[in-house]
Structure formats: structure tokens, C-alpha cells
Amino acid sequence: MIRLIVFVCLVLAACGPAGPPRATGAGDLPFAVTDERELVVLTAEAPEVLIARAEARGYVLLAQHPLPSLDDILVVFRIPIGTTIPEAIDEIEAAVPGVTAGANHLYSLQSRALAAVDYAGSMIGWPEEGCVARARVGMIDGGVAPDHPGLASGQIIQEAFGGGSDAQAMEHGSRIATLLVGPGRLRGTPLYSANVISQGDTAGVVPILRALDWLAANGVRVVNISMAGPRNKLMNRALSRAAADGMLLVAAVGNEGPSAPPQFPAAFPFVLGVTAVDRDGAIFRNAGRGSHVDLAAPGVDIMVRDGARLRIASGTSMAAPFVTAAIAADKNLTRRSVESVRESLGAAAKDLGPAGRDTVFGAGLLQFSGC
């Protein structure tokens, strides 16, 4: 069973956060959080000592969730009045060595509705008939709509962890699911869809960690994350453990523009960061830039067929599933480390922009080697 420890506080917002973001001063900040008086703590030990020491300092226990597949326990506290998030992080980590405390940051879905051209498959060499998946595939996203044909056929196995059902987030989740396992995409394995929406089109740390535990318990090997947001040390702890234990994580680099700071989880070195290009190989104008960009894939005016419906969208969110699918369809990649996968896909990529790897396109345009 894959050991993971926690990846954190992701958020879903198809075109931006629901409601005004609230900034805190916490270590990785300022960024939007779900609640400025909430502290999330991960502990690998029994939580009694953590809870006792926190309560002695005025913290109120809100929830605890065992995550057996992640070898961790998630504990949520209400911070005492007058204590900031960074102060709370320092206090709890000093009081209980070995735990990781953090803010409940929000992350955003990275797509937007636009007009369409059906070019993506031929651009990267993906066969029209699709490919057999060589490993189990999962996604952390908005929920897949109830009328999605993949749900009815059993091709998509879905669990909800956040309790929300925002229509915009479900539209996003349905698009990503179709790009992964729709007609002409991956076949031969179910898609494990983790719906982490908790309020509006956002998700916090608790549903995300429960979703990761579920994916790990089901032996999911390749995970698509079409979300982006701030660096968070809880996410760092979780994803680094996941990668070390063999889970391959693919994430959108984000749509905050070329001058924005690196977005996470794509900017972590143990995650494959994917940017978006149009049919001519030009970069998506809002795509993030930086040394963490590993590959480019089609992501502008992407046409997604879902039964009788046609969905069209642009963004780095739309590009990530092409890389996820290419990894899952290649039996030579699914059991490799992320470093090996990065090297292999980079060597086969079509160079774009300046010669060699660069901060706009990474190694270049994904080129699929065949099923």
C-alpha cells in the first residue's frame, strides 16, 4: 500500500475563489485560507499528547481523522483569540516535536471557458482509439456530474469528501474526467475521482487529506491535480512522501500569469508541472513561468466530448490530463520514479521556444510514444 502523508489544503475555484480571499500572515502566506482561526496538524503518533498540550494552551479540538493509508492522523483545532496562524504553527510545533502544523490554504482550478478547436490528440500523437491504462489513475478535483456517462458505466468510481456540489466545480471535474477516461482516452482501468469541494467551489485540508487516504487505499498510482495555489509545508510533507513511495503526481502550473510566483503543487520538485499551449505551440497567455515547468501540452481551446454534449475550455488545468494519461498508458513509466519519468518525457518532447529547456515551455511539447 502506498504510504503518503498528507497533501494539503487544496481548493477548487473554476475562475477564482468563492468570496473574498482572506489573508493571514502564516509562514507560507499571505494567501486565501478557509478560516483564519483554524489550524491543521498532522501527527504520525497517537494524538492524545498533541491534543492535551494544545488544549492546555487554549486551543479547541474541532475534529480528528485517522488516515490509515497515509500513516498519519489529521487533527483540526480552533486557534485561541488573539493568536495568529504563524504564532499557532510555531507554538504547536514547539510543544509537540515531530508534528507538522499549517494554515488551511485554498487552491484554484486552472481553467476557463473559451471557444474551440479539436486538435489536441493529433498534436501530441495520441491515437484516436485511445490506450489501455497500465496503472490505476485518480484525480483530485471537483465532482463529476451525476449524468456523466462514465459514472453510469462504472468507469468512474467517485467519492465525495467535502460535502459540496457547486455546478461550476462539477463542470470542471467532468471535463478533467473526460480528458482522462472519455471516448478515445484511457481504457482498461477505472478513474478514481475524489470530489473535494467543501464550500462553493473551494476545498480545504480535511477533505483533501481524506481523499488522498482513499486514493492510496485503492492503489492509485498516477494522480492528476488540475489545481494551483501557494506553497504549504503540510503539502510538502505529504507529496514528498507520496512521491517517495511511488505515486506519480501531475499538476497544472497555474493561470496567474507570467510574473506570478511559482504555484504549488506543480512547483514542488517531486511533482511534474505542466503548462498549456495552443494549436500553434504558443504559450497560454496566463500560464505560470519558472524552472518548475516540466512539460507543455495542449491546453487552449480544448474540445471535450461528453456524450452528446461538447465542452470547451482553456488553461493549464486542461493540459495536465494529457501528461497524466501519457504516463498511465506507458508500462515503462508507471513504475518509475518521478525523476525518471521527467527525464524520459523531457527527452521525447518537441522543443519549443529557445533551444533546450526553458522557463516557459519546460522541456517542450509532450510527444506520446504509443500504447
Q: Is the same domain home to 224 and 282? A: yes
Domain boundary among 56, 82, 102: 102
- Overall domain count for the chain: 2
The reported pLDDT for the residue numbered 344 is 97
357 found inside a domain: no
- The answer on 308 and 164 residing in a single domain is yes
pLDDT at 197: 79
Grid coordinates given for 229: 495555489
Q: What's the DSSP call for residue 95?
A: H
pTM over 0.75: yes
| Residue 18: per-residue pLDDT | 32
**70 inside domain:** yes
Distance (Å, whole) CA 112 – CA 172: 9
> Do 116 and 251 have their domain in common?
yes
First to last CA, the chain: 26
Instruction: Say what angle helices 167-181 and 316-328 make with each other, to 10 degrees.
Output: 30
Residue 313 falls inside a structural domain: yes
Task: Check residue 211 and give its pLDDT.
Answer: 86
Interval 64-110: pLDDT, tens:
999 998 899 999 999 999 999 999 999 999 999 999 999 887 776 76
What pLDDT, on the 0 to 100 scale, is given for residue 181?
Answer: 93
pLDDT given at position 117 = 45
Establish if 153 belongs to a structural domain. Answer: yes
**Domain assignment of residue 132, given as a range:** 108-348
Q: What is the dihedral of CA 18, 24, 29, 30, to 10 degrees?
A: 60
CATH code of 256's domain: 3.40.50.200
Query: 278 and 160, same structural domain?
Result: yes
Residue type, 67: L
* Pairing mode, strands 309-313 and 302-306: antiparallel
The residue assigned the cell 510543544 is 95
List the chain residues with pLDDT less than 50.
1-29, 114-117
370 assigned to some structural domain? no
Q: State whether residue 181 is helix, strand or coil.
A: helix
In sequence order, the 6+-apart residues with CB closer than 8 A to the CB of 1 are: 69, 216, 217, 219
Same domain, 46 and 174: no
